[in-house]
Structure 1
Amino acid sequence: MKITKNLNGYHSESPLSLSIGIFDGVHIGHQSIIKKLNTIAAKKNLQSAILTFWPHPRTVFNPNDDLKFLNTIEEKTYLLEKNGIQHLFLKEFDEEFRNLTGEEFVKQILVEKLNVKHLIIGHDHTFGKNRSGDFNLLQKMSSEFGFEVEQVEAVDFQSRHISSTQIRNALTEGNVKEANEMLGYVYSVSGEVIHGKKIGRTIGYPTANIAVNSMKLLPKKGAYIVDVFVNSQHFKGMLSIGTNPTVDGNSLSVEVYILDFNEDIYGKEISVNFREFLHDEIKFESLEKLIERLDEDQRITENFQF
């Protein structure tokens, strides 16, 4: 997949089958658009492409909005490439760009720079200053500039349209199974293993503290059954998101106890996949009670079928 970050002076030599959007999560709704993009590209001898924006427009319009994302930019890039996209345009959502009208966006970006011949947009997609661009505008301009446009309907899950917001809500409620169904894959976080307070090792449950990207959405505080990927190997794990209230912790941490594992991995990158929510964060009355619960969580994790 070819990645282009600067559109200044750019012109695509290849005619494109393109879709526009944030694509946070690259969920099954996004995947249906991508599948159609790739099918049309193959049929019409075009290249499949995505135009997306970084940072998220909401952070530009509402800089105080503490929006967290389902994907880091690296994860999104990986998922788009995995789904067969040939070109990724990462456009900075700057002041100049946000002031383009819908008509200017179509002419200057889609036609002159990206050489779009087939455009697919989501059911509720708008663009341009004051949301002046929509499907109706694209239909009017398509014949003038020689491209085709189609709008796809949302994919439903449990009688609701699948959206990145729906998935974020599921994760913040601890509904990781529901989130995974809407994503079409298992939600994950990754990061470097850093030093923590090392309390876990004193009670027989040494944990790896993961430094997660600050822009990445963490599921609800609590305990989870996870897959752990470290040193190109796969293990079961018990992961905790919280402040360690039993030992009077006050800062949020992401810690994973890796079953059947005893290696020094400080400074190494690990990844965890969220499989099942075990329970909310609990402040135990003693370390003994905490250990009892960890023993029970381990028994459940060992018996969990991935």
Structure 2
Amino acid sequence: MEAIQDIFEFTTSNRTAITIGTFDGVHIGHRKILERLINNAKSTGTKSLVLTFFPHPRMVLQKDANIKLLNTLEEKEQILKEIGLDYLIVHPFTQKFSRLTALEFVRDVLANQLKVKNVVIGYDHRFGRNRNANINDLKLYGETYDFDVEEIPAQEISDVSVSSTKIRAALNEGDIETANSYLGYPYLLTGHIVKGKGIGKKMGFPTANLQIKEAYKLIPQNGVYIAQSELAGKTVYGMMNIGFNPTVSGTQQSIEIHFFGVDQDLYGQKLQLRLLKKIRNEKKFDSLEKLIAQLEQDKITSLAYLENGTP
């Protein structure tokens, strides 16, 4: 898959099959559209292309800087690459771009720049300035600019009954298993390992502290989770804490993971965690001894879940 950062940097001699959207989470509902797109491209001899945008339009049009997204741009690109797309365009979303009329968007972007032959889109898609054009308008434009529109009907989308909003709600409640079932893959946290205070090591549970640079990335509810990662090409598991470490008077939220059976310095390394299960809420203990006893129990719970599939 080739990733392009701007519509107007895209060049091709091939006609394209396109779908358009934010695709936050690239969840199982999105995948129905993406699978249709890829099959369409194969059957028509075109190249499959996803056109998405960053920042999220709500950040620009509604000044909603507090919106939290399910994927970083890097994670979204990773997932879409695994699906088997030919092209991904992440176009900068600006006030100026939002003011393109429906005609300008179709003529200048879809037809002239992206060489569209087929558009695969949901029944409720709206586009153009003030989102005043709908799929019926798109079909009419297709007659003028020589492209077909394949509509994903309401029934197909409602059959899946999944939305990015539902996934965000599940994550905010710590319901990782529901979120993962909607996503079709374990929720990802991607960042770099930074030095912590070393308190976990003193208690016999050394942790890697994950720092995520993207402030817009949704961090699930505070608590203790079972997580999975890859280290040096090997799958490893551990128990992860999201929270403020109240027992040791922490003041800032942190993400720390203790890997089972791993004894190596991870500082500075890039790390991607896949969240599997929340096992308890974060809690303030009366003493370090009680916290250590709980960590021992968390380890037992985690290993039992990993061995048997249930905590």
The question of a shared fold, defined as TM-score above 0.5 by the shorter chain, is answered with: yes
Alignment of 1:81-96 (within 5 A): 81-96=81-96
Moved more, 237-246 or 54-63: 54-63
SS in 2 for 1:104: helix
Aligned pair 1:242/2:243, yes or no? Answer: yes
CA-to-partner distance for each residue in 1:171-216, whole Å, 9 max, x for gaps? 1111111111111111111211111111111111111100113232
Q: What is the CA deviation profile of residues 10-69 of structure 1, one whole-angstrom value per residue up to 9, with x for unaligned ones?
A: 554211110000111111111111111111111111111111101111111133431222
CA distance in 2, matches of 1:56, 1:129: 16
59-68 vs 48-57, greater mean Cα deviation: 59-68
Listed as ranges, the matches of 1:263-302 within 5 Å are: 263-302=264-303
Matched with 1:5 is 5
Q: Secondary structure at the match of 1:174?
A: coil
Note if contact 1:230-1:269 (Cα within 8 Å) is conserved in structure 2.
no
Distance 1:227 1:174, change over 3 A: same
2: distance between equivalents of 1:293 and 1:72? 33
Shift of 1:100: 0.7
Instruction: Give the direction of change, closer, same or farther, for the CA distance of 1:97–1:156 in structure 2 (3 Å limit).
Output: closer
* Residues 233-273 of structure 1: per-residue CA shift (max 9 Å, x gap): 22220000001011111101000011111111111122211
Secondary structure of the 1:8 match is helix
1:81 Cα offset (Å): 1.4
Deviation digits for residues 284-304 of structure 1 (CA, Å, limit 9, x no counterpart): 111111111111100011112
Q: Which amino acid aligns with 2:98?
A: R
In structure 2, what is the equivalent of residue 162 of structure 1? 162
1:138-149 map, 5 Å: 138-149=138-149
Which SS does the other structure have where 2:113 is aligned?
coil
* Residue pair 1:126, 1:133 contacting (<8 A) in 2 also: yes
For 1:129-186, what per-residue CA distance to the aligned partner results, in whole angstroms no more than 9, with x for missing partners? 11112112112211111111122146668x7721111111111111111111111111
- Residue pair 1:15, 1:46 contacting (<8 A) in 2 also: yes
Percentage of pairs with the same residue: 37
The answer for unaligned runs of 5 or more in structure 1 is: none
Unaligned segments of structure 2, at least 5 residues:
none
Q: CA RMSD in A?
A: 1.7
Q: Give every structure 1 segment of 4 or more consecutive aligned residues whose post-TM-superposition deviation is greater than 4 Å.
A: 154-157
Pair 1:264–1:10, CA change in 2 (3 A): closer
TM-score (norm 1): 0.94
For 1:102-121, what per-residue CA distance to the aligned partner results, in whole angstroms no more than 9, with x for missing partners? 22211111111111111011
- Matched with 2:54 is 54
**1:232 corresponds to:** 233
